Amino acid sequence: MMVPVVSVVVVALLLWLAVWTVVARDAFLAVAAFVVYGLLLALVWVRLAGVDVALTEAAIGGGLTGALLLGAVGRLRRTEAATTSEGASIATRILAALLALSVTAALMVAVLMLPEPPPSLAPMVVPAMPATGVGNPITGVLLAFRALDTLLEAIVLVIALIGVWSIAPDRAWGGRPGLRYHADPNGILAYLARVLPPLGIVIGIYLFWAGADHPGGKFQGATILAAMWMLVQMAALADAPRTDAASLRAGIVIGPLVFIAVGTLGLWTGGTFLGYPAGWAKPLILTIEIALLPTLVLVLALLMNGPPSRRAVP
């Protein structure tokens, strides 16, 4: 079996970046390496013909997680020097190394011991795809065959946001999250925040809509939409929303609520929770997807914003 040179180079780079991310002394450098690692990993997924996974990795693994980690670096900056100079004891380091090595070894054993051919439900899914009316098998699996997973995922996101919000001090509860950004209203950032969002919104909605039949979907689209919103906030063209606004909270919970409503409907019509009645799969999937979009955009952006920190103005 010939392995193309490009694959070898990309994998070598990926491993090197992974090691670099772990050993980097400076948190900022580690996060920078992590973002590049995510983008390179997306490239690997493209080479493995997993375009859906590649899009998700680039948008969420590299982009969103990277931005969240950068935010964390900013908050930790004051205490970072003290933490690194303190250092960990030799015993802790050996323990950490052993733990990391044993996880790696376990994963390697698991991958190498996979039966040939690997167990797969794909042959059962493919003939059932037409019944869903969706062209992209990934979307079909996420919203028809494993819809319960997707529902729980959406609920987990909402719970994560509640978790972040609950760090807020009492006096800031319901106020706007994060610090108010200051930027030159005639600067390059403000220019970018005016030029890019129209394009970004179109691309985000396109990715969302294309997800029915092509690689793409609500998560990737929502990440781009959330990024556009963050860009506008960072350029100080708009402030973060008040977290006690009823419309905001309604937008956050609408996705899981509609999902559960459709699922309950399935109890009567399809016989099981989340069972779609014959012929109604596509419209119901579309309803869920459209309802999930505001939830995802709001949650992803508000996770970036962080806990409410400014006093709620009555």
Partner 1 sequence: MSLLLDIFSVVAIVAGGFFYLAGTVGLLRFPDAYTRLHALTKADNLGLALVVIGLLPQVGSLLAGLKLLLVWLLVMLSSAAVSQLIARSVRRQEPR
Say if CB 216 and CB 55 are below 8 A apart: yes
Confirm or reject binding of residue 261 to partner 1 (CB under 8 A). Answer: no
The residues, ordered by sequence, that sit 6+ positions from 174 with a Cβ below 8 Å of its Cβ are: 242, 243, 244, 308, 312
DSSP 8-state code for residue 171: G
AA letter at 185: P
Q: Select the residue interacting with partner 1 from 44, 125, 192, 286 (CB under 8 A).
A: 192
Query: What distance in Å separates the CA atoms of residue 112 and residue 204, rounded to the nearest whole number?
Result: 38
Confirm or reject binding of residue 13 to partner 1 (CB under 8 A). Answer: no
Q: Select the residue interacting with partner 1 from 76, 162, 188, 261 (CB under 8 A).
A: 188
Pick the closer one to partner 1 by CB: 15 or 199.
199
CB of 43 to partner 1, least distance (A): 15
Query: What distance in Å separates the CA atoms of residue 6 and residue 150, rounded to the nearest whole number?
Result: 35
Residue at token pair 């969240």: 68
Pick the closer one to partner 1 by CB: 231 or 299.
231
Number of residues that bind partner 1 (CB under 8 A): 7
Confirm or reject binding of residue 195 to partner 1 (CB under 8 A). Answer: yes
Pick the closer one to partner 1 by CB: 19 or 188.
188
Pick the closer one to partner 1 by CB: 156 or 199.
199
* CA nearest neighbour of 300 among 226, 246, 247: 226
Confirm or reject binding of residue 238 to partner 1 (CB under 8 A). Answer: no
Confirm or reject binding of residue 196 to partner 1 (CB under 8 A). Answer: yes
Burial of 253 (0-12, 13-18, 19+ CB in 10 A): middle
CB of 192 to partner 1, least distance (A): 4
| Residues at the site binding partner 1, with contacts judged by CB under 8 A | 188-189, 191-192, 195-196, 199
